[in-house]
Amino acid sequence: MGEMEVPADAYYGASTQRAVLNFPISGQPMPHRFIRALGMVKRAAAQTNRDLGLLPRRRARAIAAAAQEVIDGKLDDQFPIDVYQTGSATSTNTNANEVIANRATEILGGERGSKLVHPNDHVNLGQSSNDVIPTAIQLASAMAVQDELVPALERLQRALEAKSKEFWPVIKTGRTHLQDATPIRLGQEFKGYAGQIEESIRRARSAVDELSRIPLGGTAVGTGLNSHPQYARIVAARLAKATRVVVKETTNHFHAQATLDVLVAAHGALRTIGTSLWKIGSDIRLMGTGPIAGLGELRLPETQPGSSIMPGKVNPVIVESMLMVIARVYGNDTVVLVAGQAGSIFELNVMMPVAGQAILESITLLAAATRNFSERCVEGLQATDRGPELVERSPMLATALNPVIGYDEAGKLAKESMRTGKSIRQLARARGVSEKQLNRVLDLGKMTKPGLEGPGGGG
């Protein structure tokens, strides 16, 4: 394709420079986590090809050493190609091959550009962009979930469980349809939130399992042409040891590299986790409204002044930050979905780079927002007296009188309570319900447990 000028200090070559010129789109290179995973694949491939007798030991050591520098981030500035590039990310695979080949050539004492270590014949041995790139995306995503997201969720679960125990004595008004319902313990609400995060952790680990079955070894179209029959299995074992992810070769290469089904499924788990976080954050924000004109059942940590004009105002900014992250995750989920369905062209998906960027961004943002929510919001929450005060005045306590005076009469009491402001206890007493019966059926603690004595029905 003619001559191409390359910066004198670059480790990459003409193919990379041509891609830089071809894709002046966003100015965003591929994520560091992806480049790191790509380096891990190249290192494991060189070591495996050495063990299989396909690559001389000295050359393999040099490639592995150069790939390690990629993994360590020492060569990040040598990966300038835009995310919005060739849909298979062949340009980025070629970029990695050129950088590692030139650096390995230097390690062997050769001159950069001399191809003492060849980017295709040696660094890319047994590989194709079509199996390397999806493998690197899946590997990077699995490591990010395992190393960042799961620990962040585990911290949040512990924080919510601790608050559940702390808030267990606090009985407040339950709410359905944003209207008063029967009493609930504040600790029970937080037990529900902790359960959501427990399920989120399970879903995150299931996503890791999805991502850990890699397509490496299929080469161009899934047939494994130009790849040793044992190559992919051995590389997967090496990657598993290096990443602590249970990496395995896929059982069906034709499926694994012709689709992005794995990414669509994994990001679906991220979307569900985000939805759980949205519910928890929104509930906490609502319970913290006020301090005078809102619900005021929780006191949120005061992290920063909330207004440039209203002195003393404090806003739920940590929750707001997390909800914006979740909105971004929902957007990324659409990107991954569209990439999965619209990028599949027979034996290859050609929207891989943007799907890889989207899922990695979602994982990183969710992990950071979850950690921040735990540290700067949940762990500092305090219960106020507002919940216990309101529950005593709630007309829904009339529900507990259903077995005593019947549903219709209890309904009349509830409406009268709302009209007059008198408590259910006062009105029931005036209708002749004995104090002993009132103490039994209006026992708030008993009303937060299963049992036949007390309220029935719901809504």
Annotated catalytic residues are 177, 307
CB 57 within 8 A of CB 50: yes
Picking from 293, 267, 294, the residue whose alpha carbon sits closest to that of residue 211 is 267
State whether residue 301 is helix, strand or coil.
Answer: coil
Length in residues, the chain: 459
**Structure-token match 């359960």, residue found:** 195
- Cα(288)–Cα(284) distance, integer angstroms: 6
CB 287 within 8 A of CB 297: yes
Check whether the bond before 291 is cis (ω within 30° of 0). yes
Distance of alpha carbon 57 from its chain centroid, rounded?
A: 40
β-strand 344-345 against 348-349: which pairing, if any? Answer: antiparallel
- Cα(80)–Cα(329) distance, integer angstroms: 25
CB atoms inside a 10 Å sphere around CB 227: 23
Q: Could you list the beta-strand ranges (E) of 200-309.
A: 213-214, 248-249, 298-299
- Cα(246)–Cα(224) distance, integer angstroms: 22
CB 267 within 8 A of CB 276: no
DSSP 40-84: HHHHHHHHHHHHTTSS-HHHHHHHHHHHHHHHTTTTGGG---BSS
Distance of alpha carbon 420 from its chain centroid, rounded?
A: 50
Q: Find all residues with CB under 8 Å of 408, minimum gap 6, and list them.
A: none
